[in-house]
Structure 1
Amino acid sequence: MNEYKTKEQKLRFYKSKEWKYIRLEALKRDNYECQGCKRNGLVYTEHHDSGKHKRLDVDHIKEIYTHPELALELDNLETLCIKCHNKKHNRFMFRKKKNKWDDEKW
């Protein structure tokens, strides 16, 4: 696969044996710890047998749709918790709702 532009191509890639293998290698290398949290002096980790729902993602530092040649390169991967991964891609970032009442605070 040289291109990962369509949803089907991405899905096929992320289900491939090659991706599953390199993903596991990245998790092991990063000691199952979020590298984003680690850079901020925090530790977020999980045991790799922790259950059905994953809490850690393996992220492509240089995205596969712009750098398909790096899709399976270990040096282009890092472990991130779901929160850091979503923050990096500006997804699911909920903002506090502004109070619709302009009441005084007592």
Structure 2
Amino acid sequence: MTDREAKHFYDSAAWKHKRLQILTRDHHECQDCRKRLTAAAVAGEILNGKDRMIRRAEEVHHIKELKEHPELALSDDNLVSLCISCHNLRHGRAPKKFKRKHKLASKERW
């Protein structure tokens, strides 16, 4: 499947309907966050910060890539709800950390 075909698929009514169906199935909860919490509870580990919560799922991820397996594009078994950070991790995208710029004490520059 080409990039153009994939874009056409993601714009289709069938995908939009299936996406809502999968998010509803998973109660709009990130399944990777849920799995991390379950594994920590079984292992008796205590998680800190944002790792202690299940984030809201906003993405529906194809487990087997759409371009490589177009026949599984609308298969429930191949789709999972993920939050944006877990979706980026699955695709190997590093989360960006933003640093605040320090304000000058005065506008005068020497």
Output the CA distance in 2 between the equivalents of 1:9 and 1:69: 13
Aligned partner of 1:31 in structure 2 is 27
Unaligned 5+ runs, structure 2: 38-52, 98-110
TM-score by length of 2: 0.69
Q: What is the distance in 2 between the residues matched to 1:61 and 1:18?
A: 18
Partner in structure 2 of residue 44 of structure 1: 55
Alignment of 1:81-96 (within 5 A): 81-94=83-96
1:40 partner SS: helix
| Alpha-carbon distance between aligned partners in 1 of 2:2 and 2:35, rounded to the nearest angstrom | 30
What number of residue pairs does the alignment pair up?
Answer: 84
Query: In structure 1, how many angstroms separate the alpha carbons of the residues matched to 2:28 and 2:69?
Result: 25
Q: Matched residues, percent identical? A: 44
- The AA in structure 2 aligned to 1:60 is H
Q: Matches of residues 1-106 of structure 1 in structure 2 within 5 Å?
A: 4-6=1-3, 8-41=4-37, 42-45=53-56, 56-94=58-96
Q: CA deviation at 1:93?
A: 3.4
List per-residue Cα deviations over 1:31-75 (Å, max 9, x = no partner): 000001111114112xxxxxxxxx610000111111110001111
Aligned partner of 1:103 in structure 2 is none
Find the aligned partners of 2:14 and 2:93 in 1 and give their Cα distance.
26
Alignment partner, residue 48 of structure 1: none
TM-score by length of 1: 0.71
* AA partner of residue 82 (structure 2): L
Which structure is larger by alpha-carbon Rg, 1 or 2? Answer: 2
